[in-house]
Every structure is written in C-alpha cells, then in structure tokens.
A and B are shown apart, each in its own frame.
Chain A
Amino acid sequence: MTKQKRDNLVSAGIAAASVVFLLWVIPTFTPPYPGYGVSAALLPNLIVGLILLLSLVSLGVNLFGPQKNTGQEELPDEDKVHLGRLFSFLLPCLLLFPAIKLAGFIPSGIVFMLLIQFFCGQRKPVTMVLVAVCSVGFMYALMRFGLKIPMP
C-alpha cells in the first residue's frame, strides 16, 4: 500500500466516523437541552463538524488536487503498523491489574516484569529475575511505606 492510498483511507475513515458521531453518538449520549444556557451538544457538534470538513478537504485534495511526486512509493517498514508486537505489549499490561486482584501485587508484578523483559528481548534468566524482583520490590516499598498509597 502506498502512503497516499493509506492517507486517503484514513481520511475517509475519519469522515465516516464523524458522520456516525453527528447522526447517532452525539444525539444519543449527550444530555438534552435543559432550556437555559447552551446545549451540551453544541461543542461536540461544532468540533465533529469541523473534523468532517477537514477530513473531506484532505480527501478531496488528495483525490482531485494536483498529483504529487511523493507518497506513491510503498510504505517503509517504520511507517507500517505491527499489530502483533503492539498487542504483545498491551496484553500483559491489560492483565496486570486483574492478576494483582487475584494473586497480589508482588507475585503478579514479578510475572509481569518477566514477561515484558522477554518481549523486550532479554534472554538472561538471572538478570530477568533480578530486575523483576528489585523493581517490583522497590515500587511496593515506595508506594506502601513511602507514599502510603492504597495498594491496588
């Protein structure tokens, strides 16, 4: 996919989402006008309308404007989305707090740190365990005894 094609898709997607917001999300999820002052939907309608206009302008310029020399080549690797790697980091983070609720801060924290280090490319087991235990222990001591914060 070329950069220009992706930009067009993104602009079209934003325009479509804006229409959905204007027609359904904003009327459904904003409180009704109370009869005084300003409607709660004023600012959201204004902003989403502006987003719709800007995305259509961007799409229009790309499709019907003068053809550019840049943006026609294939996307470089650094601009591509790597969903696998993204989720490999997000998933342990999402599961951390439920795990803390089940097993406690220290065991869950240590397992989390071991997993994250593995995904970051660490392969030395002794270093992994040391870093996991020290960082979780330090964080626990700081929050519990230093700042007296209620632990999750």
Chain B
Amino acid sequence: MLELMLAGFIDAIHPLNLLFVFAGVTGGVVMGATPGINGPMAIALCIPLTYYMSPIAAIGFLVGLNKGAFYGGSIAAVLINTPGTPEAAATSWDGYPLSLQGKGEKALRMALFGSVSGDFFATMVLILVAAPLAAVALYMGPPEIFALVCLAMTIIAGLGTQSLVRGLIAAGFGILVGTVGIEPVSALPRFTFGVYQLERGIELIPIGIGMLAFSEIIIQLERRYRDSKKEGGADACLLAFSTKREDRFISWQEFRSTIRTILRSSVAGTVVGAMPGLGAPVASFFAYDQAKKRSKTPEEFGKGKLEGIAASESANSAVCASSLIPLFTLGIPGNVAAALLIGAFVVHGMIPGPLMFEKNAQFIYSIYCSLLLANVFLLVVGRAGLKGFCKILQTPAVILYPIIIFTCIMGSYLGAYNPFDVLLMLFFSFIAYFMKKFDFSHISFIIGFILTPIWETSLQQVVISSQHDPYMFLTRPVAMGLLAITAFIVFKTARGSMRKESKA
C-alpha cells in the first residue's frame, strides 16, 4: 500500500499535473468572485476542457476549480457585500463591515486563511477516515434527514434578521418557491401558472444573483445617491484601504484567537459536507451561528469580527473536500460539484465507489495529493492576488457597478442559456429589495429554497413508509432528538426576543 501511495504522489507532482491544478485554482478564484458563477458552474463549463487531459490532471484541475471558487466567492462578499456564491453570504456579515473600516485586505487574508485551513482539515479527514464517516451518513434515513433539515432551517432563520418570526416567514417563502416545478410524486406541474419555463423549476443561480448581488447593488447605489454630495460625487471609490500594517495584516495573536473557531467550523463543515444534500451554505451559516454563540463577545459579530469570517470560510471550504467522502467511498455525490465530478470520472474511465479503492488505488492517492497541492496553490494565489483584488475595488464606483450589473445579467443567462432566468433574477432582486427594507432575511429565503427538495422528498418518504402513521417518529430516537432540539431553539429564541422587547 505504501508503494501505491508513493507512486500516486509521484504521479501527482508531475509538472503538467501541477500546472493544471494551479490553473484550476486560479480560474476558480476568478470565477467564484464573479456573481453568477459558482464552483459547480465552473466545473460544468470546464469539463469539456478536460477531455484531452490525463485523468489525474483532469480531476486535479476540476477540484482546484471548485476549491478556488469557494474562496473566490468571499472576495466580492468581503469587499462589496455582494457574495459571489450563497455560502459566502455569512462571510460578508463581518467581512464587509471590516472593509468599510478600511481593513478590507485584513478581512480577505482572514477569509483566505480560514478557507485554506478548513479545506486542509477536511482533506485530511477524507484521506484518513472517509469510509467510517460515510457509513454514519448512511444511517440517516428519511426521518432523520427531515428532522435535521427542520433543525438547520430553524438555526438559520434566526440569522441575518432581528426577528426569528420574520426569519421563519422568509424561510417559508423560500420553501414555497422551491415547490415550483414538477411535483416529484405525481410528476405533474405545480405552481407553474401556465408558464412552461417554470416546469423545470427555478434554478438557484437566478435567485442567488438576484437576492445576493443585484439587490445589494441597487441598495448601495441608493445609499451613494443619498450621500453623493458628501462623498465627492461620481469619482468616489467604493472603498478606502488603510495603509497601517495592523489594518492590512493579521497578527499572530489575532490568528491564534481564531484557531478554535476554525477547528470547530472545519469539523462542522466536514460533517455537513459528508451528508448528501445539505451543502456549503448550511455549513457556513451553522458554523457562524455556533461561533457567535460560543464567543465571549457575541455582540461584536456583524461589526467586523475576524472570528465570523473564519467560521464561515473554514466551514464552507471544508465542505469542498468532505463532499468527496461519500463520492469516493459509496459513489454517492455529496453535492452538485461532486455529482459533476462523477461525469468527469466516467469520461476518464473510472467509476466512483468502493471498488475504486481496489482497482484504482494509485489514482486515488494521486487525487489526494492533488487536493493537498490545490490547498497550497490556493494560499499562493490568494496571497498574490490580494493586492490586485483591492486595487480593482479602488476603481470608481460609477465604473465598477455598471460592470457588475452587466455581469450579473449575463451570469444569470449562463446557467441554462435561457433569457427567462434573467427575468427570474430581476424578479427575485425586486423581492429581495423589499425583504431587506422590511428586515426579512433573504438568507433564510435562499436556505429554505435550497433545502426544499431534500426536505419534501424526506417528508414524502416518511409519510409513505409509515403509511400515514403520525407516531412513526416516536420509533426513531435520533429524529426525535433533533426535533426536540429544534423545539428548544425556537422556545429559547422566542423567550430571548420577548425579554429584549420588555426591556426596550
């Protein structure tokens, strides 16, 4: 086995393979920073490019693309509060306030360190304990998945808004939007209102761009229009960057203070990523919530706390590697990106699953090495590009915003090459504008939307398998435990809100 491992590592460090992994990471960072293009889309667009590469180079390139995109999403989130990907939204809660204080470079460094650390942790878990972890995920049946999704939505509903009630209402709207399309049991259209384009359902890209990027641009433009006399008019830059060393770099003390958060969030991201269906946004918001609850100064979260950035980025990057755990061990993709990688594996003559360890062990070890190398390249590319990213943001706002708006529109079109998606993007940006004005969490909306398919499927499986027996949950202790935790969180949050209101 040692010989196979060494042979695999030697294959991976071939100069051509290294070049492709580096190109993948660099391309991923650029694409992830662009609103509308996330890791799965980048993989889908670039799979044809890998047809003429060797299997190791191809998978290394695609995985590098995915890793780069996870970090890339945080760049726009931190610097202009328009997350390139939904999972970077939690990063913007502390990243953007730091940028407004002139510490954008520091925030980006923290996002980079969090990303690399979380990814490295999850990659090591993938290498060392992939099989047992996947076996645990298999024990989760429909009742457990249903209860877990209820818990995830309740936790996330309380984030990004001052009111749990409004967060739950927003999540409910997101779920309702998620039911648009073909109903899974009867295979008949539901809520399509006679519009045939809605029969394929609503994609995440138009919602993500509209709610996270486009609506935020409109609100920022409103703010700039209001402050235009004070700001100096049309040539004002989006951000100013401090030149003080302590505002640009992260000190060893600051990094040490975030190590526990990074470790905890990496564990959260690894576990969530190993469970098919939940995804990086859930991991990132869950980790942020936990970091805030465990912090000695939770009131500082949302105002530029480095721990907030570290928690979100390490969790969402950990998902990138851990979503490969069920893929490699069981042939079940952990998320969309892993599902696309199955296609890449098949094109190169490999079938992901337990037999891959017997038939292609050397190839597996090459992939592990490529994953670790991609981490190193991400650190290099991220650090080298920091100044460039900040320079780009010093472009005057009146030049940058129109380019971002145009990119958002074309990004929405890229998802399915359908102009209807652009219409949807504009519709959801309209909805998000009002949600932000009325303090309804658009994040809860998006999470509710993302989790609807897995939630509805698990609910239907529960109802069908129990033959409409409502007491079947009593026979599933894990599911009951998760539902009890959900009820406790709702009760605790409601009590906390009532106490705050009585003091006000």
Contact = CB atoms under 8 A, between A and B. Distances in A.
A binds B: yes
B52 interface: no
B406 A58 contact: no
Contacts of A124: 234
Contact of B172 (A47, A113, A120): A47
Contact of B406 (A6, A47, A116): A116
B165 A40 contact: no
Nearest to A70: B504
A132 B456 CA distance: 45
A116 B463 contact: no
Interface in B414-430: 414, 417, 419, 422-423, 426, 429-430
Interface in B430-486: 430, 433-434, 437-438, 452, 455-456, 459-460, 463-464
B377 interface: no
Contacts of A82: 222
Contact of B437 (A54, A81, A97): A81
B403 A131 contact: yes
B254 to A, nearest CB: 32
Given A38-B185, A47-B175, A120-B397, A93 B410 contact: no
Interface of A: 6-7, 10, 14, 25, 29-31, 34, 36-38, 40, 42-44, 47-48, 50-51, 54-55, 57-58, 65-66, 68-70, 77-82, 85-86, 89-90, 93-94, 96-97, 109, 112-113, 116-117, 120-124, 127, 131, 135-136, 139, 143, 147, 149-150, 152
B413 A152 contact: yes
A43 B175 contact: yes
17 contacts: A25-B191, A31-B189, A34-B186, A37-B460, A38-B459, A42-B463, A43-B456, A51-B169, A51-B173, A51-B176, A70-B504, A78-B222, A81-B437, A113-B402, A117-B399, A124-B234, A150-B417
Contacts of A113: 402, 406
Contacts, number: 156
B166 interface: yes
Contacts of A112: 406
Given A55-B169, A66-B501, A85-B222, 6 more contacts: A44-B179, A47-B172, A58-B165, A113-B402, A116-B405, A149-B417
B221 A85 contact: yes
A96 B409 contact: yes
Nearest to A115: B402
Interface residues of B, number: 64
Interface in B1-58: 45
A30 B191 CA distance: 6
Contacts of A40: 183, 185-186, 188, 190
A135 B400 CA distance: 11
Nearest to A7: B438
B242 interface: no
